[in-house]
Homo-oligomer: A and B are copies of this chain.
Amino acid sequence: MTMKPMKAGDNAGATDNMFVDSGEAGDGFLRIGEMAKKFGVTLRTLRFYEDKGLLHPHRDGSTRLYTRRDKARLKLILLGRKVGFSLRDVKQMMDLYDPSGTNTKQLRLALDKSEKQLARLQKQRDVIEDAINELSNSMTLVRKMLAERSTQTNSAA
């Protein structure tokens, strides 16, 4: 018993910050089902991420074993997706991670991509606000039209 068995109960909180991996290994190997539950994703998702080269769990025979590093990586992936990065982007950034260096290049790339993504998000927000406004206008108009109809003819069901 070098470590506590890790009862599998800590949530995938957004405590950690993006692009920040801790490195180092512990024990708490998780199997795919536990991993999925822990992070609220499906098994399919985990296999898919692996297939795309975003995760590299160990293997016990054919069974996947997820380590502490994998958890960190998955956390990053999910955060990345939350802010709108594609998996390709996430991978590109993660692939630059080097536990032995300062990761300056990785950070620069991340920052660069982030700036662009931020711009995209802001544009999206504007578009949506536009849509909200136009839709609201239309709704007001439709309500008026309906009001006319109900005063003129009958008071339908």
Chain A residues packing against B (C-beta within 8 Å): 14, 17-20, 79, 82-84, 102, 104, 107-108, 110-111, 114-115, 117-118, 121-122, 124-125, 128-132, 134-139, 141-143, 145-146, 149, 153, 156
The docked-state distance in angstroms from the alpha carbon of A61 to that of B73 is 61
* Residue picked from A104, A136, A145, most chain B C-beta under 10 Å: A145
Residues of B within 8 A of A20 (CB): 141
Q: How many copies does the complex hold?
A: 2
Q: Are A146 and B114 in contact (CB under 8 A)?
A: no
A14 to chain B, nearest CB (A): 7
Q: Are B125 and A82 in contact (CB under 8 A)?
A: no
Can you name 21 A-B pairs with beta carbons within 8 Å? A17-B137, A17-B141, A18-B138, A18-B141, A19-B142, A20-B141, A84-B131, A84-B135, A107-B146, A110-B138, A110-B142, A111-B143, A111-B146, A114-B142, A121-B132, A121-B135, A125-B125, A125-B128, A125-B129, A125-B132, A128-B128
A102 to chain B, nearest CB (A): 5
